[in-house]
Amino acid sequence: MKRILVTGGLGFIGSHTVVELQNSGFDVVIIDNLSNSSIKVLDNITSLTGIKPDFYQIDLRNKQDITHFFNTNKIDGIIHFAAFKAVGESVKKPLDYYENNIGSLVYLLQEMQHKNIDNFIFSSSCMAYGTPEKLPITEQTPSNKAASTYANTKQIGEEIIQESCDAYDLHAITLRYFNPIGAHKSAKIGELPNGVPQNLVPFVTQTAAGIREQLSVFGNDYPTEDGTAIRDYIHVVDLAKAHIIALQRLLNKQNKQNFELFNIGTGKGSSVLEIVKTFEKATNQKLNYKIVDRRPGDIAAIYADTTFANEELKWKAEKTLEEALKSAWEWQKNQ
Ligand code: UD1
């Protein structure tokens, strides 16, 4: 049984990936510092799969703790989620973001090199492309300057991994996610935003639940069909499954290069108003919303070309937008 380390394994995408790993027969060990997650998630994963993953509350900025972990654990592969991810905050606290997102990554790669551990999956973002010049985005689309410190940590992180793969003969896959939404169908795990949600779907579900009074739709004067901004929303369970496939590709030595990069999205763009309408239809809830000014820093549209992931990984997003929004609502009701 292969033992896989999942850093940030109690977070939104991490927890769904742990479940898929366990369902695929992997032995999972989680490292999480609980900075943006709850220890209850560990019990929820356990009740879902029937297997309690090993758990270490470690802060990956602490090199000694990481070294001790790897001295006492035999690991066959790593899926690295643990990172700060608030775009607005990242611009106000760049050094915190570089220390956490880049520092921890370097420590992990050093341990891999010292202990001869291979097979690294990196959690990246479509924001690593910067503002795209052409849509849809393929893996060949050149990356522009990152629009925030957060996005820059993903760009720089990928460069560090690529150089490490070349220098130390490591094998890594980076997955550039588009907009992950939804929750596990059991409604036992899902997205747990800290305070007022910044992302669209948690704000939508909290508004429907009466926790927020009204959803603000940020701008209806974009050059899109209905004037609201377009994103590629992917069900978190589809996204989690992409990690298992990428990991198996590395473990089975099917990768074609030491460092590979894939877009993980649906390939379909949806506008904010489409999200509102689809949510209302899928859940039978009326959503109180109003149009307000654009949110600074937002771009009009971004969505993936997923041909490479579809053909090379044999992975495809399977769940519909309705399913994703309905699952997010079931999760919200369960809170
Ligand atoms: C954000 C993050 C990105 C992350 C992604 C998924 C920013 C700038 N980027 O992307 O790093 O990978 O989430 O977690 O924060 N919207 C509203 N009203 C709201 C909230 C959002 O109209 O209350 C609109 C936004 O203007 C945008 C769309 O909904 O057009 C999606 O927003 P959001 O969920 O925050 O995702 P992104 O900004 O695309």
Q: What is the mean pLDDT of residues 111-138?
A: 96
Q: Would you list the DSSP string of 108-126? A: HHHHHHHTT---EEEEEEG
Residue nearest ligand 1's atom 38 by CA: 298
pLDDT above 90 for 175 = yes
**pLDDT tens per residue across span 71-123:** 999 999 999 999 999 999 999 999 999 999 999 999 999 999 999 999 999 99
Q: At a CB cut-off of 8 Å and minimum separation 6, what does 64 contact?
A: none
**pLDDT tens per residue across span 144-174:** 999 999 999 999 999 999 999 999 999 999 9
Angle at which helix 12-23 crosses helix 40-49, to 10 degrees, equals: 30
Residue listed under structure tokens 């060990």: 29
Helices and strands per DSSP (H, E), number in the chain: 12, 13
What is the C-alpha to C-alpha distance for residues 11 and 35, in angstroms, rounded to an integer? 10
pLDDT at 302: 96
pLDDT at 174: 98
What is the C-alpha to C-alpha distance for residues 83 and 81, in angstroms, rounded to an integer? 6
CB 137 within 8 A of CB 219: no
Measured in angstroms, how far is the CA atom of residue 87 from the centroid of ligand 1? 10
Q: In the predicted model, what is the mean pLDDT of the chain?
A: 97
For ligand 1, mutation pick of 225, 226, 295 (most atoms within 8 Å of CB): 295
Q: What is residue 304's DSSP assignment?
A: B
pLDDT above 90 for 194 = no
Measured in angstroms, how far is the CA atom of residue 252 from the centroid of ligand 1? 36
**pLDDT tens per residue across span 321-333:** 999 999 999 999 9
Q: Which domains does the chain have, with CATH numbers?
A: 3-181+234-264 (3.40.50.720), 200-230+267-333 (3.90.25.10)
**Could you give phi then psi for residue 263, rounded to 5 degrees?**
-80, 135
Q: Which ligand 1 atom minimizes the distance to the CA of 204? A: 23
Closest by CA to 48, choosing from 182, 206, 190, 238, is 190
Residue nearest ligand 1's atom 4 by CA: 179
